[in-house]
Amino acid sequence: MLRQYIFKRTVMLLPVLLGVTFLVFTIISLTPGDVATMILGQGATAESVAKLRHQLGLDEPLLIQYGRYLAHLFQGDMGISYATQKPVVDEIVGRFPNTLTLAFYSILVSLILSIPIGVISAVKQYSLFDNLGMVFALVGISMPSFWLGLILIILFALNLGWFPSGGADQWQSIVLPAITLGVASTASIARTTRSSMLEVIRQDYIRTAKAKGVGNLQVILKHALKNALIPTLTVIGLEFGELLGGAILTETVFSWPGIGRLMVESIQRKDTPMVLGCIIVFSVAFSVVNLIVDILYALIDPRIKANYQRKGKAA
């Protein structure tokens, strides 16, 4: 049943988190620089540095350090930030709503642009609109988000002064970063929607509906689009998951106080507990989004729901 599937997906998340955290833990440990020296400053004595390294457990083997981290993590403790001396959980909880807000408005911008472009391009295949739409999609996929962000800052913040160039002090602050992230997602969703719509509108039941005299707009919106959204929903879920964990450069460019920017700052300071905390949140968020997408499949397509029920009876 659907509950068993959700339980299995949740259990499968555990080895993923173990692998990701161990990999990140190892990479950060091998990077140049000493955490104790960064905390105390370059003028600190060797004795004080050695004492702090011992207090933080940095003088122990890597596997012991990682084992101790896991022991605290399984108790719900992500540790204390080396840089701020505050609990990692508190820092992340304070930043995550900003990242979630940015991801939500970015995917909203993407859906407003991509769904109409994909549908119209499929209905008017090989037309001027179709060609321009696919060129836009290609440019959107190829364009680096940080480059687009800088262009938007120069044009709309510095030259026109319509929007602030960074921060999150006012509602206008989210416009430019949301457009920056939304354009890249628009390209992928539009291409998928177009391909899916082309396949659906050639089906027999679409031709039958048209033969019965159903209006073309009603056929497209009521019959074709609903079935075409199933593969599109996959891309939307993946894009939203990537926006939650992949807005690092955009948050940095626009000084947006989210988890992505926090992770960049933590990597620069070699703040291992904070980096690991951000990675865990990104991994869990991405997995949860994909799980929600799979559940929505069953709501949109009754065939998938029936498949879950058959598996549940067989078990």
Residues 130-155 pLDDT 10s: 888 878 777 777 777 778 888 888 98
Q: Write out the two tokens for 295.
A: 């559940």
Left, alpha or beta for 161 (phi > 0: left; psi -120 to 50: alpha)? Answer: left
Reply yes or no on whether the pLDDT at 312 is more than 60: no
Cα(132)–Cα(75) distance, rounded to whole angstroms?
54
3-state secondary structure of 304: helix
Confidence of residue 50 (pLDDT cuts 50, 70, 90): confident
| Ranges of each domain in the chain | 33-77, 92-314
Q: Write out the two tokens for 244.
A: 């939650």
Cα(220)–Cα(228) distance, rounded to whole angstroms?
10
Cα(237)–Cα(297) distance, rounded to whole angstroms?
11
CB 201, CB 122: distance < 8 Å: yes
Q: Nearest-CA neighbor of 263 among 19, 24, 15? A: 24
Q: Write out the two tokens for 175.
A: 């416009």
Cα(312)–Cα(173) distance, rounded to whole angstroms?
48
Cα(157)–Cα(163) distance, rounded to whole angstroms?
5
Residues in the chain, how many?
315
CB 106, CB 185: distance < 8 Å: yes
Model pLDDT, residue 238: 79
Fold designation for 92-314: MetI-like fold (1.10.3720)
Residues 215-264 pLDDT 10s: 677 677 766 777 777 778 878 887 887 777 657 778 888 888 888 888 88
pTM listed for this prediction: 0.78
